[in-house]
């Protein structure tokens, strides 16, 4: 009887380890092996004036934020705002959202103010 129980336990253990453990390992490998789409490490913080300048200079064109004159026009018409610039910077792997910068109201407001200041300065030329 003891041998039967031992044999049953060994059989059960063998089945569990051959069936379930590899599935768990694959699930873990899948979640860990999901490589970031970023080629370089996004910055945890970019000064609002720097981000505004980068957006204006076309650094976010791949994310749908045009540069220079088109930027001014789109900003003036309301199609581009600080929220979109910050989101584009996160999507473009320039800015990390690890600390919630993309939704931080004060940061977004500072970027908005810098964009407005920059556009006003450019239109005064």
CB 110 within 8 A of CB 48: yes
Closest by CA position to 99, among listed 21, 56, 46: 46
* Residue 27 CA from chain centroid, whole number: 23
pLDDT of residue 3: 57
Domain boundaries, the chain: 1-34, 48-123
pLDDT of residue 32: 29
For 112, half-sphere exposure in the C-beta direction (CA atoms, 13 angstrom radius) is 13
Along the chain (125 residues), what's the average pLDDT of each consecutive run of 10 residues?
Answer: 53 45 38 55 96 98 97 97 98 94 96 96 71
What does pTM read for this prediction?
Answer: 0.69
pLDDT of residue 121: 85
pLDDT of residue 20: 43
pLDDT of residue 124: 64
């Amino acid at each position: 009887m003891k041998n039967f129980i031992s044999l049953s336990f060994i059989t059960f253990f063998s089945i569990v380890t051959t069936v379930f453990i590899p599935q768990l390992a694959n699930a873990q490998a899948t979640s860990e092996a999901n490589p970031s789409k970023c080629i370089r490490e996004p910055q945890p913080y970019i000064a609002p004036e720097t981000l505004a300048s980068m957006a204006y200079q076309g650094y976010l064109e791949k994310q749908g934020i045009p540069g220079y004159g088109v930027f001014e026009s789109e900003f003036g018409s309301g199609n581009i705002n600080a929220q979109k610039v910050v989101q584009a910077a996160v999507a473009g792997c320039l800015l990390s959202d690890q600390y919630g910068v993309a939704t931080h109201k004060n940061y977004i407001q500072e970027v908005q103010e810098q964009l407005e200041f920059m556009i006003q300065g450019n239109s005064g030329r």
